[in-house]
Amino acid sequence: MSQNPSKTSDIVEKAYRGLAERLFEKASAACDRLETDDPEALHDFRVALRRLRTHLSTHRDHLGKHDANEFRKRLTALVAATNTSRDQEVQREWIQRRLEGDEVEGIERDGLELVLTRFSTNGDSMSELDPIRQHFADIGKKFHKRRWSLPDYARLKDAPDRSVRAVTKAAVLKLAAKLRKQIAAIDSVDSVKATHQARLAVKRLRYILEPLDNVTPGASEVIDELKRMQDTLGAIRDMQILHLQIALAAGVADELGDEHSGNPLDAGTATASPPPALDNVERKALDAAMDHVRVEAQKDFKVLQERWLDDKAAPLLKRVEKLVATL
């Protein structure tokens, strides 16, 4: 005897609401760690927020569009508010690692040390997390009191397929198409916008596919490859931001071209305060530091180029499409 569609939908939606609640609890636990000295706390908090946001966006039909969209927008704003702290943390750690080794010498080392000094005099970016923790606490109060506005199935007889399978498949195919488009648009380390958009697409694609890991044949390998692509795009993105950071410190990034317009990378993305007057030695040191960062970005770009550019990502994206076709 076939199962009542309405009852099946209720079961699915309870499961997805339960998953949303578990993802929120993970974000809450990571938020609590922001008050400690845990160096991974901020990263884990941001990842937890993004996973929850992706779940709310992908399965809003199973959660109730109104509530899911409201929380998704608030989480998006919260992630954006952590960008400055995250970027400074990543940049500081990267520079410290470079200075601890023997790969950087002379004027390049002087330039990186000068940037690191500027970070330490810009104030403690982690103190900026206090209002973020409070904002998340406010979201939590509403999240735990929310009433998911589920649709009336009696009026959805002619609606498109809203099954988990159909929703997941549609979301994956949409992100795969976006990733294919943005990867094709990356032609150099200066392709800031396309790099940013490709990184977002591959990240969200991975988050949606992760529940299939160890359940669907071939999912694990696809997810691992997407993670490698995400890491490479992220490394390039970090160097793009650090390059801009140093340019701002040197006072040579007053005007940014069209490639840097909008969210992908602008003066607000970097964390430097207005540059002080620089003498010739300091300016040359910062110029050398910028050159060093660009060389490092080119190394990551070469990896991206060898593995995924010039249509080399096509086999991976076809595997993604085949994967969801089996759902």
Q: Look at 115-119, 216-220, 285-289, 294-298 and tell me which has the smallest mean pLDDT.
A: 115-119
Q: What is the pLDDT of residue 9?
A: 52
Q: What is the pLDDT of residue 56?
A: 86
Q: What is the pLDDT of residue 236?
A: 96
Nearest to 275 by CA among 237, 309, 249, 252: 249
Nearest to 99 by CA among 73, 117, 123: 117
Tell me the average pLDDT across 84-94: 85
Q: Is the pLDDT of residue 160 over 80?
A: no
Q: What is the pLDDT of residue 150?
A: 52
Please identify which residue in the block is written with the tokens 């990551």: 300
Q: What is the pLDDT of residue 8?
A: 47
Q: Give dist(CA 14, CA 152) in Å, integer.
A: 15
3-state helix, strand, coil in the chain (%, to 5): 75, 0, 25
Q: What DSSP state is assigned to residue 2?
A: P
Torsions phi, psi for 214 (to 5 deg):
65, 10
Angle between helix axes 219-250 and 314-325 (nearest 10 degrees) is: 130
Torsions phi, psi for 50 (to 5 deg):
-70, -40
Q: Please answer whether residues 35 and 9 qualify as being in contact, where contact means their C-beta atoms are separated by less than 8 angstroms.
A: no
Q: Hey, what amino acid is at 238?
A: D
SS3 149: coil
Tell me the average pLDDT across 102-127: 77
Q: Give dist(CA 204, CA 177) in Å, integer.
A: 12
Q: Is the pLDDT of residue 82 over 70?
A: yes
Q: Is the pLDDT of residue 165 over 80?
A: no
**Which tens digits make up the pLDDT trace of 283-323?**
899 999 999 999 999 999 999 999 999 999 999 999 999 99
**Which tens digits make up the pLDDT trace of 174-193?**
999 999 999 999 999 999 99
Q: Look at 123-137, 141-155, 175-189, 275-289 and tell me which has the smallest mean pLDDT.
A: 141-155
Q: What is the pLDDT of residue 10?
A: 55
Q: Is the pLDDT of residue 136 over 50?
A: yes
pLDDT grade for 211, boundaries at 50, 70 and 90: confident
Q: Look at 11-15, 130-134, 178-182 and tell me which has the smallest mean pLDDT.
A: 11-15
Q: Is the pLDDT of residue 255 over 50?
A: no
Q: What is the pLDDT of residue 155?
A: 42
Retrieve residue 126's tokens: 């982690």
- Which one is predicted more confidently, 100 or 103? 100
Q: What is the pLDDT of residue 275?
A: 55
CA dihedral in degrees (242, 244, 250, 251; nearest 10)?
A: -160
Q: Please answer whether residues 227 and 311 qualify as being in contact, where contact means their C-beta atoms are separated by less than 8 angstroms.
A: no
Instruction: Give DSSP secondary structure letters for 193-224.
Output: HHHHHHHHHHHHHHHHHGGGTTTSTTHHHHHH
- Which one is predicted more confidently, 9 or 25? 25
Distance set, CA 84 to CA 13, 50, 51, 80, 112 (Å)? 36, 16, 20, 8, 19
How does the average pLDDT of the chain come out, rounded? Answer: 81
Q: Is the pLDDT of residue 276 over 80?
A: no
Q: Give dist(CA 2, CA 9) in Å, integer.
A: 13
Distance set, CA 178 to CA 97, 126, 192, 203, 303 (Å)? 34, 34, 16, 12, 21
SS3 14: helix
